[in-house]
Structure 1
Amino acid sequence: MTSNIVPFEFDGAQVRVVTIDGDPWFVGTDVTRILGYANPSDALQRIDDDDLRFATLALSEGSREVSRLRPLVNESGVYALAFGSTLPRAVDFRRWVTREVLPSIRRTGSYGTPALTGPALMAAALIEAQAVLEAREAQVAELTPRAEAWDALAATDGDYSMRDAAQILCRDHGIDIGQNRLSKRLREIGWVDPAGIPYQRHVDLGRLRSRARYYTHARTQERVLADPQIRVTPKGIADLRTILATKENVA
């Protein structure tokens, strides 16, 4: 069930939040606009499927209210967008969400305090690490993650989708790779088989994981097991960064 839309304001720009089934969802175009994405649709397509949904909302557009299907991102999706932004204000925006928006929603009793895990926790930790480094070195426009940030990533738990893993790797100036090229590269370096299934060795090494996926059969309406989704762990991303940056074909 969807509650009323709650408008918030960040640096003069509106951010609208709607609570669905007790969880806050942010209007995706509001978030991408504040974070300076030139192509909001492309940025939202890179969000993990679990962190993006669509809902028909009536929102003000100029002088009139328009009801249409709109993209929404959850807290984890906001962190992913903030981490992918090149604007220094992304750090301030993430802090504003966690320190003002979410506490305000929780006070209404419609949203419980979440225990951040997996990608949401890693994204938040990396943003905090970046903020500390920027303050220490007075380089707020720095785009390349420091070695400390990559070390912090490798030490965390959880996993990323191929799309998000490629986006994180591209934060290194020496790496330019997308989801499809990353999938091809994993086959080339022997991490996955020709069918895209992770080899057990790299699962045991903590580089890759598989997540079960299901779909509903159109005719029988039965829940059917689909091909597993490859997930890249923080250690896997750190190892891939070394391999891709040095152009080594090492398995």
Structure 2
Amino acid sequence: MNPLQPICQRGKRVLTTTQLAEAFGTEAKIINRNFQRNADRYVQGKHYFALSGEELREFKGSRQFDDSLKFTSILYLWTEKGAWLHAKSLNTEQAWDAYERLVDEYYTIKEDLVPLSKDQALVTVLRTTADLMEDTQTIKAEQHKIRKLIYEIDHKIEEHITLSSGEQRRVQKGIAQKVYELESNPEYRSKLFRELHREIKDRFGVASYKDIKRKELQSALHYIENWFPRKVS
């Protein structure tokens, strides 16, 4: 896949329909057709942005586009989640491989790392403040409020933390063990690897097993341990 010039819309990385079709090895009309057939699954602002009128004119004016978009009245820009739905509709190896590369090389903007880092710093400050407070009734009440806030922030952080590198290796090892347990023929193992990876993404609603939440690690390992392909070749 050739390097893509980053396009951002409302703080999110996006791709035009033409760019997405080229990446997935298909045609723009097929992307549009899949969208029309499954329109109820797509949410504007989450899966795509539809630009028209003055917003579209400003967007075109700020970028160099090919002539095929010159007379476009509505321009669709696809977010990472929108690209995932299109990959699921196409369900081809090329589309899934291209989607993985887009996530790793284009869409990935870890915007949530900054607020999490600030939250963690705030937790440290709050804990230090709570420990230094004197033991009085008024201050005890303040300590209670602070510790409640610490709990809420800790819970928020826990909700966003994904697997560490060591935990990712545990998942990889579990996947490999399961595939080798099910299939001795190397010719068919790659198919099982792709199928299991795909079903893990669907089961946990992630773009890659690396994005599984740490709190769901045991559930993921249990799922892998008990997984069987829908149809064993």
Shorter-chain TM band? 0.3 to 0.5
Greater length-normalized contact order (CA 8 Å, ≥ 6 residues apart): 2
* Structure with the higher fraction of residues in strand conformation: 1
Q: TM-score, normalised by structure 2?
A: 0.39
Q: TM-score, normalised by structure 1?
A: 0.37
Q: State the structure with more CA Rg.
A: 2
* Structure with the higher fraction of residues in helix conformation: 2
